[in-house]
């Protein structure tokens, strides 16, 4: 895949960032809101005094939550100019910062950060192990990483479902590699890895595995919509892993 545009560029195609952010912040109809975010916030734990790095930060909506919870600093990185603009708007007047950069190029001196987060960005990265190794190297001892990706059940195969999803076909599961999808009005490339691949990449990079979650829906976030909850109980959409630097 050398020479292929990196993941951030997808969000700079006309209307993609706008469409994505509209969907992302649509409340109970957003799977991020009812599935990914509750698990992510539970796994974050105490952030007071921590220097936080967020890879593929998008509009950096999480920054305010982290700053309000007392983190010492927040740096978001994103490869999309449109997303960096949105993040700059969200961070205006806060102590948070955002920079435009590709995840694949990340490097920082040892002990630069205490907590790395990345939400739904690592499945855009072809080779995740060098990235995880660089993140391990930039964390302070005892530092943590918490990240989410689109669930491998979904990235394995395109079932062709474009509307409300109630079931999914899993196929080519053990074939690691790129998958093209029609998504958010464009063609995106995601990189499929199995759950095992993610765990092995994390532990080979020097992290001890702290948690693995499949982000089951959080009933309290459905505003009483029982049908939507029932639908979300059918197919896993997100995988969360967290690890610690010894
Ligand atoms: C699905 S969005 C998630 C945004 C944000 N983390 C959230 O949860 O709302 C994925 C983000 O990752 C960024 N991204 C994808 N591939 C990237 C790469 N290789 N380097 C830097 N950013 C990337 C995109 O620009 C986009 O903002």
Tell me the mean pLDDT in the region 39-54: 97
Report how far ligand 1's centroid is from the alpha carbon of 245 (Å): 24
Quick: pLDDT tens for 210-221. 999 999 999 999
Residue 1 pLDDT exceeds 80: no
The third-level CATH classification (topology) of the domain covering 7-154+193-245 is: Rossmann fold (3.40.50)
Residue nearest to atom 25 of ligand 1 (CA): 8
Spatial contact of 210 and 203, defined as CB atoms under 8 Å apart:
no
Ligand 1 site residues (CB inside 6 A) read 6-8, 11, 24, 56-58, 78-80, 83, 102-104, 119-121, 124-125
Q: 3-7, 14-18, 34-38, 125-129: lowest mean pLDDT where?
A: 3-7
Specify the ligand 1 atom closest to the Cα of 104.
19
- pLDDT > 70 fraction of the chain, expressed in percent and rounded: 98
Dihedral angle sign, alpha carbons of residues 209, 218, 115, 75: positive
């Amino acid at each position: 895949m050398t020479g292929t545009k990196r993941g951030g560029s997808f969000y700079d195609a006309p209307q993609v960032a706008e469409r994505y952010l509209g969907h992302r912040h649509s409340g109970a109809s957003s799977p991020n809101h009812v599935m990914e975010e509750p698990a992510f916030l539970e796994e974050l734990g105490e952030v007071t005094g921590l220097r936080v790095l967020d890879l593929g930060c998008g509009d950096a909506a999480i920054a305010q939550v982290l700053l309000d919870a007392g983190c010492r600093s927040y740096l978001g990185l994103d490869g999309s100019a449109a997303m960096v603009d949105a993040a700059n708007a969200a961070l205006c007047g806060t102590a948070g910062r955002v920079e435009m950069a590709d995840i694949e190029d990340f490097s920082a001196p040892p002990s630069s950060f205490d907590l790395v987060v990345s939400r739904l960005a690592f499945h855009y990265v072809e080779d995740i192990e060098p990235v995880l190794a660089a993140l391990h190297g930039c964390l302070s001892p005892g530092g943590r990483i918490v990240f989410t990706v689109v669930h491998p059940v979904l990235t394995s195969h395109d079932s062709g479902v474009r509307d409300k999803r109630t079931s999914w076909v899993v196929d080519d599961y053990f074939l690691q590699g790129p998958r093209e999808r029609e998504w958010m009005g464009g063609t995106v490339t995601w990189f499929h890895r199995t759950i095992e691949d993610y765990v092995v990449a994390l532990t080979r990079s020097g992290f001890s595995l702290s948690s693995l979650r499949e982000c089951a829906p959080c009933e309290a976030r459905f505003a009483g919509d029982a049908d939507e909850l029932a639908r979300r109980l059918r197919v896993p959409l997100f995988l969360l892993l967290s690890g610690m630097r010894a």
